[in-house]
Structure 1
Amino acid sequence: MAVTQQEIENRLWAAADELRVAIPEAQYSSVVFPLMFWKYLSDTWDHHHQEFLDDNKEQLNDLSAEEAHEIEYRDYQSFEIPFIHPGTVQQRRASWSSILATITQPGLGQRVRASLQAIETANPDKFSRLFGSMTWTSEEVLSGEVLAAVMKAMDRTPKMHEGNMSHDVLGGAYEYLLKRFSDGSGTRAGQFFTPREVVELIVEILAPKNHESVYDPTCGSGGMLIASANLLKAHGGRGYTLRLYGQEAVADTAGVARMNLFMHNLTRFKVEVGDTLKDPRFTKPDGSIAQFDVIVANPPYSLKWKPWAKDPRAIGGVAPQSSADWAFVQHMIASMDPKKGRAGVVLPHGVLFRGGQEAAIRQRVLDDDLLEAVIGLPPNLFYNTTIPTAILVFRAPGAKAPERQDGVLFIDASKRFIKAKKRNILTDADIADVVTAYRSSFDADGHPADPDGENGLSARFVLSIEIVANGYDLNIGRYIRQATAEAEDLDTLIDAYNIARAERQKAEQHMLAILADAGIKGFDE
């Protein structure tokens, strides 16, 4: 019987819910994801081990232990689950089922930690530093009783291997937990999770192709990298051919990203740990920044940072210490492939009009004709901020389509959303309409030649000469007037003015009457 998406999601959440007596919901992910991935690896290893035994049962007696091991890992297994405490009475395989059998014994956290560390050590190319700091395995952080309860609840989920459930179901369950944890943890969620609909919109616009490289310099849980592969697959392409790269400053979050990618059956990836601005980990042999076909990012907004003293990425100047927004953009521009590179980034509206050093960088980017589009999003889309944001789309020098050169496309989608319990949400129709507007052709006045997606969505292609005349200000309201006066006709405005004028005159007459009674004159002239 096939495993349903809802079944595995319910079981996994029941396991996570066992943590409610011990730690805040914001910390669930640091425990649940390593345990879930360990179970996935163990179930997969056990499944292939049984296949090896079934296929070779007639000749196993004639094989030495070394020969059997060689055949199994050559033909059946893609990773190793070794033994812990080998050669001692405590020897046991570092698998989920083996440790689960010991949950009533003291020191469960220590055995779990030893097992996860053994898996990392045995598979350095695949799983190095995968499980993060594992501080939760300490008895002081999480008692053995609570850890045992979580493991027993998680063991009630169906076997997590390809013979029992598809990677679409497994990956979907992982994404479900990411969102569930984010919904419950408030602002902290923004550190590792970008709402699905925002990710889909950026990826739809950048449209990765087979065999291309995709890079996220602030990858969080890896959602944008996975969405790139999923979108390509949904459009009839081969998502598994993408080469995926990510860098993440928080080691535990980088581990979440690696597990997420594996759960989605994406193995052509590399996720590095480090500060992208201070220590970019993807470089060429000569030390220059590595370049990619597609760059996607939702960096931390207005991050205080230590500005570069000297860096080739700093085109147009260096971003101020108070905000690294444009520094992330400069890094992404440097990371674009010179022929077909394109980048999409979510940032606060301040990057569109702030002055000083940011204005100088913005001017250089516009003079070099690197900015293709500015897409205004609704407020309160994200877990860590309620402010409205914008997607900025960049193209490598000379890579814009001829009709998009020497100008910027502005799209105002700020009114396109539905209200949910904790935040606003872009619907599939909203996403489709924005993509349609982005792909539209425009007439000589910059308006869509075949307008679509109305009802709160406006677009205009603005020539560079107009932007220069506005002092390189990219504020969407300068170019799409209806962004500031939604659907209010002239008659309504005149009526409102007349009512306000009459109220003011009435208040003035009352004031003058009081002053006259008090013998004060001269205010009615």
Structure 2
Amino acid sequence: MTITQQELESRLWDAANALRGPVDPADFKTYVFPMLFWKWISDTWVYEHDMALEEYGDDLDDEIEADYHRFEMLEGTLWSETTTKVKNLGAEIASTFQRIEKANPRSLAGVFGDVAWGNKERIPESALLDLIKAFNKIKLDPTTVSHDLLGAGYEYLLKNFADESGKKAGEFFTPREVVNLLVGILEPQPAESVYDPACGSGGMLVATINQLRDANLDHRTLRLYGQEINLTTSSIARMNLFLHEIEDFEIKRGDTLRAPAFKDARGALRTFDSVIANPPFSLANWGADRWATDPRARYGVPPAKNGDFAFIQHMIASMTPDSGRVGVVMPHGTLVRMGTESSIRQKLIEADLLEAVIGLPPNLFYSTDIPTCILIFRANKSAFRAGKVLFIDGSARFEKAVNRNSMTAADVDALVDTYRSGTKSADVDRINVRLVPIDEIASRDFDLRLGHYITVAAEESADLGSTLTAYADSRIRRIAAEADMFRRLQAAGIDLSAIEVSDD
């Protein structure tokens, strides 16, 4: 008997709540997702076994049965076999996960993460038993829960865990309205490749699949790739994609800026049709010391204390040279900061790679309340947009909430339609748009502040870190200019003793 989405979500949340008290809500995802994934592959294996037995009866052998299963489950690794153990249950679960991963080295190696299941200080056995009892109430085989339903349930948990985690949620979860906006703009097509270099829990990649499904296009030909530095989060991403019935994907764990994981046979970066990401904002200690000779730094080496333009340049280097496009979420500081970043910004604009700057509503994200935007880059712009940059202010399109604002589906659709048309529609309100020639941007020293080019509903402001960085850059330039001036005056024989010089 199938269950409804509401019933599934209720039962999944009951399972998570079984940990409440002894386990910090920010850690719920660490324990719940591996257990959910194990329960799903176990229940599915039993269902497939029963199907094979019904068809072949006594003639069923291991070779025939193997064709029925997506994953191999060794004897003793099924949910019903391990969860009934009465001694050292956490250690038994850890051992079971290791056996499952070893039995499926190509698909499941490392998928369960590195949780210390036997550490009773982190997860008491009583909490583990309560979690198991809650999952025992949920049957997860295909006759009860479809892939679409299960995928929606997984997304429901991710959203709830993000709400519980507060600012920590920014490490693994991007608000789905922002994800849908990015995917709607980039429009991945069947047979294309999509890459997220900071993939978190895999939401951007899942959304590309959902968009093609909703448009009745063949999503099975999409090829999905992602890299994530956090082991637990990369495991969550892999489970997410499996549960959404996605098979052609690669999620690799590692530091994208220091050690990009996707390279071709010659050791060069692999390229993809769509590159999409919400990377960590203004990342310090990102590995600038290695970028002096890095081919990704074609437009300049970003400052060591801020990796925003490192992610941008990595993504641009990762898009196909003919039809590639990039969509990235960034703080407004990337639009205005001076120094090295200003130089990089200028070169990207002069290369005619920047297609659009889209101002987002305030307070959308869990991890920050600073102003944010979406930057769109294209390897080849249309003839109409060549030599120009599209500025869109969407900062007024949101629903106000207590902890975090949100965008409705209508808000997202309005921004996507505005981006595609490049003009303001008469039936769309609270959005301003203008296609600006690069010459005009150059006249403003390549400052991309939206308010320079269009009317902005929400007040623009750079984050404090960006403001301090801009101040420091300006101060250094002023001191250098003064020093050069005094050298020239001294060389001209002018007496400088009466001139007071300040280094403040």
Tell me the TM-score normalized by structure 1: 0.85
Q: What is the CA distance between 1:161 and its match in structure 2?
A: 2.0
2:132 to 129, 151, 159: 151
Structure 2 counterpart SS, 1:425: coil
CA distance in 2, matches of 1:183, 1:386: 15
CA distance in 1, matches of 2:458, 2:282: 25
Establish whether residue 120 from structure 1 lines up as the match of residue 113 from structure 2: no
What do the CA deviations read for 1:70-128 (whole angstroms, capped 9, x no partner)? 1100x211110113xxxxxxxxx2111111222xx120001100111111110011001
Match of 1:200 in 2: 180
Establish whether residue 408 from structure 1 lines up as the match of residue 389 from structure 2: yes
Structure 2 counterpart SS, 1:101: coil
Partner amino acid for 1:429?
Answer: A
Establish whether residue 386 from structure 1 lines up as the match of residue 366 from structure 2: no
5+ long unaligned stretches in structure 2? 461-504
Match of 2:324 in 1: 341
CA distance in 2, matches of 1:122, 1:482: 56
CA distance in 2, matches of 1:129, 1:59: 35
Establish whether residue 250 from structure 1 lines up as the match of residue 212 from structure 2: no
What do the CA deviations read for 1:145-193 (whole angstroms, capped 9, x no partner)? 2101111111111x21222221110000000000000001101000000
Match of 2:258 in 1: 278
2:198, 2:228 within 8 Å by CA — same for their partners in 1? yes
Match of 1:515 in 2: none
Match of 1:76 in 2: 68
What do the CA deviations read for 1:461-505 (whole angstroms, capped 9, x no partner)? 00111001110010000000344689xxxxxxxxxxxxxxxxxxx
CA distance in 1, matches of 2:305, 2:342: 14
- Counting only pairs closer than 5 Å after superposition, residues 216-235 of structure 1 correspond to structure 2 as 216-235=196-215
Structure 2 counterpart SS, 1:148: helix
Partner amino acid for 1:37?
Answer: F
CA-based RMSD of the aligned residues comes to 1.3
Match of 1:25 in 2: 25
Q: What is the CA distance between 1:138 and its match in structure 2?
A: 2.0
Match of 1:512 in 2: none
Establish whether residue 474 from structure 1 lines up as the match of residue 455 from structure 2: no
Partner amino acid for 1:470?
Answer: R
Q: What is the CA distance between 1:15 and its match in structure 2?
A: 1.0
Q: What is the CA distance between 1:421 and its match in structure 2?
A: 3.1
Partner amino acid for 2:267?
Answer: G
Match of 2:494 in 1: none
Match of 2:357 in 1: 374
Match of 1:53 in 2: 53
Structure 2 counterpart SS, 1:285: coil
Is the deviation greater in 128-137 or in 288-297? 128-137
Is the deviation greater in 262-271 or in 131-140? 131-140
- Return closer, same or farther for 1:482/1:27 CA change in 2, 3 Å cut-off: closer
Q: What is the CA distance between 1:299 and its match in structure 2?
A: 0.2
Q: What is the CA distance between 1:238 and its match in structure 2?
A: 1.4
Q: What is the CA distance between 1:248 and its match in structure 2?
A: 0.1
CA distance in 2, matches of 1:451, 1:334: 38
Match of 1:42 in 2: 42
CA distance in 1, matches of 2:204, 2:196: 7
CA distance in 2, matches of 1:268, 1:219: 16
Match of 2:485 in 1: none
Structure 1 counterpart SS, 2:19: helix
Match of 1:453 in 2: 428
- Return closer, same or farther for 1:388/1:59 CA change in 2, 3 Å cut-off: same
Establish whether residue 310 from structure 1 lines up as the match of residue 293 from structure 2: yes
Partner amino acid for 1:111?
Answer: E
- Counting only pairs closer than 5 Å after superposition, residues 505-516 of structure 1 correspond to structure 2 as none
CA distance in 1, matches of 2:457, 2:349: 22
Match of 1:90 in 2: none
Establish whether residue 178 from structure 1 lines up as the match of residue 155 from structure 2: no
Identity, % of aligned positions: 49
2:388, 2:435 within 8 Å by CA — same for their partners in 1? yes
CA distance in 1, matches of 2:422, 2:199: 33
> Aligned pairs, how many?
457
- Return closer, same or farther for 1:311/1:94 CA change in 2, 3 Å cut-off: same
Tell me the TM-score normalized by structure 2: 0.89
Structure 2 counterpart SS, 1:203: helix
Partner amino acid for 2:96?
Answer: S
Q: What is the CA distance between 1:140 and its match in structure 2?
A: 2.7
CA distance in 2, matches of 1:481, 1:424: 21
1:434, 1:453 within 8 Å by CA — same for their partners in 2? no
What do the CA deviations read for 1:404-433 (whole angstroms, capped 9, x no partner)? 100100000011101123200011111111
Q: What is the CA distance between 1:12 and its match in structure 2?
A: 1.0
What do the CA deviations read for 1:32-87 (whole angstroms, capped 9, x no partner)? 00000000000110100111111111424xxxxxxx111100x211110113xxxx
CA distance in 2, matches of 1:58, 1:70: 13
Q: What is the CA distance between 1:309 and its match in structure 2?
A: 2.7
Establish whether residue 430 from structure 1 lines up as the match of residue 404 from structure 2: no
CA distance in 1, matches of 2:209, 2:5: 20
CA distance in 2, matches of 1:31, 1:441: 46
Partner amino acid for 2:420?
Answer: R
CA distance in 1, matches of 2:177, 2:164: 18
Match of 2:437 in 1: 463
CA distance in 2, matches of 1:485, 1:136: 48
CA distance in 2, matches of 1:484, 1:422: 18
Structure 2 counterpart SS, 1:21: coil
5+ long unaligned stretches in structure 1? 61-67, 84-92, 443-447, 487-525
